[in-house]
């Protein structure tokens, strides 16, 4: 199957305004996105997420490399490629603040050559989905930040394009509104079967919506895997064991031999063991050691690792993707 978005060895450097120095914002990035996929683009500030997104949606010309949408080259056939793409870029000024909600939708549709009449049913549908119906005639400058963001996404949906790019869709939203936007996005994905690329540093967004995530740092791809794999990677092997007594020094010695990275915390009556297993069978070794003194086990918890922890570890280079796959 041909990928719907194909990014090949794309590079982009900016010239700093004053010092003429070049900043390599994106450094030979390659990836594919297939129809119906929801891909998260994750990375710290300045990683190159926005730059990557803008190159895909034809607003920035890559210095080298190529990007194609539905096999259409975005450089040589820019306008044709744009018929398959719409995007919401970061910030809340991507709407006309002097126009109402509905007028914005009509205007942007018009700018793509779609008539008001033609687009009216879709606008009504989207206003409902985005809970904006009651604000239909409100001017955008009177809307809350969250509503503006919802409208911007609704506007991007108007084009009925195959690929939708969202740059930081929940940035600056409070918890509740962020949750609402995520729920709406999930519904859209289910209902309209669009291909979506979302950039974010909000782990909830990625964990909640995306099936696959590409982590970039300093303009390069650090890892590209399914979200569940990345979660599995750490989740499987981190355990917290609560013990109803203390470990003998022999037990502690054995533990150190077998699990050099464990942490052991004890008070006078009980103790807690945190342990990372390289293979799941190693849990039997742990039980053997505990059995020696018949140490009572009160609970064993698999540590829930959230995406944030994984992300921090990967970005800091503690785990590279290769290590992850070989284990």
Partner 1 sequence: MKLLNLLNANIRKEYIELKRYLPNTIAMLLTFYIIFLAMFAGIQVIGDPTTQDMNIQYVIVNYIFWYLTMIVVNDIGWQLSNEATQGTLEQLGMSPMGIWRIMAARLVSSTLVHILIIIGLLYLSMATTGQWLNIDVITLIPIFILTLISMFGLGFIIAGITVILKQIQAFLQILQFILAALAFVPLSVAPFLAFFPIVKGVDLVRQVMIDGASITQIGYSDFLILGFNAIIYFFIGLSIFLYCERVAMKKGLLAHY
Ligand X SMILES: Nc1ncnc2c1ncn2[C@@H]1O[C@H](COP(=O)(O)OP(=O)(O)OP(=O)(O)O)[C@@H](O)[C@H]1O
Number of residues that bind ligand X (CB under 6 A): 12
Q: Nearest approach, Cβ of 169 to ligand X (angstroms)?
A: 12
Find, among 293, 92, 198, the residue nearest to 271 by Cα.
Answer: 293
Judged by beta carbon, residue 59 or residue 254, the one nearer ligand X is 59
For residue 306, what are the CA distances in angstroms to 203, 205, 227, 323? 8, 12, 11, 19
**Residue 23, interface with ligand X (CB under 6 A)?**
yes
242 within 8 A of 71, measured Cβ to Cβ = no
| Residue 50 binds ligand X (CB under 6 A) | yes
Q: Does 169 bind partner 1 (CB under 8 A)?
A: no
Query: Both tokens of residue 110?
Result: 């018009």
Q: Is 58 in the site for ligand X (CB under 6 A)?
A: no
CB closer to ligand X out of 112 and 201:
201
42-50, 204-212, 289-297, 302-310 -> range binding ligand X (CB under 6 A): 42-50
Query: Measuring CA to CA, which residue among 153, 100, 144 is closest to residue 126?
Result: 153
Exactly one of 4, 39, 87, 123 binds partner 1 (CB under 8 A); that residue is 87
Smallest distance, ligand X to C-beta of residue 48, A? 4
CB of 213 to partner 1, least distance (A): 24
Residue 180 binding partner per list partner 1, Mg ion, ligand X, none, with a CB distance cut-off of 5 to 8 Å that depends on partner kind: none
Tokens of 308: 């944030």
Q: Are 122 and 158 in contact (CB under 8 A)?
A: yes
Give DSSP secondary structure letters for 117-165: HHHHHHHHHHHHHTT-GGGTTSBGGGS-HHHHHHHHHHHHHHT--SEEE
73 binds partner 1 (CB under 8 A): no
Q: Residue from 19, 45, 134, 261 that binds ligand X (CB under 6 A)?
A: 45
User: In a 3-state reduction of DSSP, which class is residue 22?
Assistant: strand
The yes or no reply on residue 324 touching ligand X (CB under 6 A) is no
Nearest distance in Å: CB 183, partner 1: 25
Q: Which is nearer to ligand X, 49 or 84 (CB)?
A: 49
What sign does the CA torsion over 179, 181, 183, 185 have?
negative
Write the DSSP assignment of 266-282 as a string of letters.
E-SS-EEEEEE-SSTTH
**Is 14 an interacting residue with respect to partner 1 (CB under 8 A)?**
yes
Q: Which is nearer to ligand X, 45 or 249 (CB)?
A: 45
Helix (H) or strand (E) holding 196: strand 195-200
49 makes contact with partner 1 (CB under 8 A): no
One residue of 2, 21, 46, 61 binding partner 1 per CB under 8 A: 61
- Among 24, 73, 114, 283, indicate the residue that binds partner 1 (CB under 8 A): 114
Q: CA–CA distance from 225 to each of 6, 51, 99, 229, 266 (Å)?
A: 16, 21, 42, 7, 38
Helix (H) or strand (E) holding 239: strand 238-243
Q: Does 96 bind partner 1 (CB under 8 A)?
A: yes
Integer angstrom CA distances of residue 83 from 26, 104, 170, 198, 230? 25, 19, 25, 19, 34
Residue 94 binds partner 1 (CB under 8 A): yes
Name the residues that contact partner 1, by CB under 8 A: 14-15, 51, 54, 57-61, 79-80, 82-83, 85-87, 89, 91, 93-96, 98-99, 103, 106-116, 118, 155
Name the residues that contact ligand X, by CB under 6 A: 14, 23, 25, 43, 45-51, 201
């Amino acid at each position: 199957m041909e990928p719907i978005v194909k990014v090949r060895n794309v590079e982009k450097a900016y010239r700093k305004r004053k010092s003429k120095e070049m900043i390599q914002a994106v450094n030979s990035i390659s990836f594919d996105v297939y129809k119906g996929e929801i891909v998260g683009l994750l990375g710290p500030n300045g990683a190159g997420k926005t730059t990557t997104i803008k190159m895909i949606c034809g607003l920035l010309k890559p210095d080298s490399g190529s990007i194609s949408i539905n096999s259409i080259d975005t450089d040589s056939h820019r306008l044709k490629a744009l018929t398959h793409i719409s995007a919401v870029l970061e910030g809340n000024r991507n709407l006309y603040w002097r126009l109402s909600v509905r007028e914005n939708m009509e205007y942007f549709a018009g700018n793509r050559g779609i008539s008001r009449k033609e687009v009216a049913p879709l606008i009504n549908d989207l206003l409902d989905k985005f809970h904006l119906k009651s604000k239909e005639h409100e001017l955008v400058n009177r809307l809350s930040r969250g509503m503006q963001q919802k409208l911007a996404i609704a506007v991007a949906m108007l084009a009925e394009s195959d690929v939708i790019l969202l740059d930081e869709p929940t940035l600056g939203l409070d918890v509740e509104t962020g949750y609402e936007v995520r729920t709406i996005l999930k519904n859209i994905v289910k209902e309209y079967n669009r291909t979506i690329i979302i950039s974010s540093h909000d782990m909830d967004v990625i964990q909640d919506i995306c099936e696959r995530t590409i982590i970039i740092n300093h303009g390069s791809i650090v890892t590209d895997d399914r979200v569940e794999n990345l979660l599995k990677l750490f989740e499987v092997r981190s355990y917290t064991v609560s013990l109803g007594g203390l470990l003998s020094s022999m037990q502690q010695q054995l533990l150190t031999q077998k699990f050099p990275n464990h942490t052991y915390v004890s008070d006078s009556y009980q103790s807690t063991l945190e342990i990372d297993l390289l293979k799941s069978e190693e849990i039997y070794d742990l039980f053997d050691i505990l059995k020696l003194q018949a140490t009572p086990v009160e609970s064993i918890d698999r540590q829930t690792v959230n995406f944030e922890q994984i992300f921090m570890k990967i970005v800091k280079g503690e785990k590279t993707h290769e290590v992850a796959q070989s284990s």
